[in-house]
């Protein structure tokens, strides 16, 4: 059996490594420079808002907060979110109005699930 002090030292080292790792992760998270977070809430069968606005050239973390099986796909911007991929960082550059529809055939209200992303 090992000496108890050796075991304590090993545990302390392990604890230190664990703390060091988790603080690294936090820093990595901050390192991704994002100007804005845009949460788009979806539920059966509507998007919470009919209009979402971002500024051209702004780096945005788009987050899909969906209750139910819904998605967003705006080809012109390369934005694609669904329950398997709920966030994406993008910098929309072209000003314009980008209407979108739920990208997943989710049920009877699917066709009414529309909204517009405005890049201004």
Please name the helix (run of DSSP H) or strand (run of DSSP E) that holds residue 46, with its range, or none. Answer: strand 46-47
Is 102 an interacting residue with respect to Cu ion (CB under 5 A)?
yes
- Bridge partners, 97 (sequence order): 118
Binding Cu ion (rule: CB under 5 A), the pick from 86, 110, 116, 118 is 110
Is 73 an interacting residue with respect to Cu ion (CB under 5 A)?
no
Is 117 an interacting residue with respect to Cu ion (CB under 5 A)?
no
Task: Name which of 23 and 114 has its Cβ closer to Cu ion.
Answer: 114
Task: Name which of 34 and 45 has its Cβ closer to Cu ion.
Answer: 45
According to CB under 5 A, which residues from 9 to 68 bind Cu ion?
Answer: none
Task: Name which of 38 and 106 has its Cβ closer to Cu ion.
Answer: 106
- Please answer whether residues 73 and 100 qualify as being in contact, where contact means their C-beta atoms are separated by less than 8 angstroms: yes
Please name the helix (run of DSSP H) or strand (run of DSSP E) that holds residue 39, with its range, or none. Answer: strand 36-43
Q: How many residues bind Cu ion (CB under 5 A)?
A: 6
| E strand residue ranges, 67-105 | 72-74, 79-81, 87-90, 96-101
Task: Name which of 96 and 107 has its Cβ closer to Cu ion.
Answer: 107
Q: Return phi, psi of residue 109, to 5°.
A: -100, 15
Contacts with Cu ion by CB under 5 A lie at 70, 102, 104, 106, 110, 113
């Amino acid at each position: 059996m090992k000496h108890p002090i050796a075991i304590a030292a090993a545990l302390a080292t392990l604890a230190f490594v664990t703390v060091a790792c988790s603080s690294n992760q936090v820093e990595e998270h901050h390192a991704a420079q994002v100007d804005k977070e845009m949460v788009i809430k979806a539920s059966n069968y509507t998007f919470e808002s009919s209009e979402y606005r971002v500024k051209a050239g702004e780096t945005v973390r788009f987050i899909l907060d969906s209750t139910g099986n819904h998605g967003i796909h705006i080809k012109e911007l390369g934005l694609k979110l669904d329950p398997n991929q709920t966030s994406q960082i993008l910098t929309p550059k072209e000003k314009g109005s980008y209407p979108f529809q739920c990208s997943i055939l989710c049920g009877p209200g699917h066709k009414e699930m529309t909204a517009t992303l405005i890049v201004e």
